[in-house]
A and B are shown apart, each in its own frame.
Chain A
Amino acid sequence: MALEEKYKALTDAATAAGITDLAVREQDGILYIDGTAADGATKDHLWEVYNQIDPNFTSGDLVLNVNVSIDAAVTHAKVVTQSSNLNIRKGPGTDQPIVGKAAHDEIITLVNRSNDLWWLVRTKDGEEGYCYAQYLEAQA
Chain B
Amino acid sequence: MKTTKLFMSMVIAASLFFAGCSPKDADIQSAIQAKEAAGITVAVTKGEVTLTGEVVDDAAKVKAEEIAKAEKGAKSVVNNLTVKPADMPVVIAEDPILTKNVADATKDFPTVKADVKDGVVTLTGEINKASLITLMQHLSALKPKKIDNKLTVK
| Bound complex: CA A138 to CA B141 (Å) | 17
A63 at the interface (CB under 8 A from B): yes
B5 at the interface (CB under 8 A from A): no
Tell me the dominant secondary structure on chain A's binding face: mixed
A18 at the interface (CB under 8 A from B): no
| Bound complex: CA A60 to CA B148 (Å) | 5
Q: CB-CB < 8 A to B56: which residues of A?
A: none
Size bracket, chain A contacts? 20 to 34
| Bound complex: CA A100 to CA B104 (Å) | 17
Q: CB-CB < 8 A to B145: which residues of A?
A: 28, 30, 63
A109 at the interface (CB under 8 A from B): no
Give the residue name and chain of the B residue nearest to A54 (CB): B149
18 CB contacts below 8 A, A to B, read A21-B88, A25-B87, A25-B88, A30-B146, A43-B137, A47-B136, A56-B132, A56-B149, A57-B132, A57-B136, A60-B146, A60-B147, A61-B146, A63-B143, A63-B144, A82-B134, A116-B141, A132-B105
Interface set of B (CB-CB < 8 Å, partner A):
87-88, 90, 100-101, 103-105, 107, 129, 131-134, 136-138, 140-151, 153
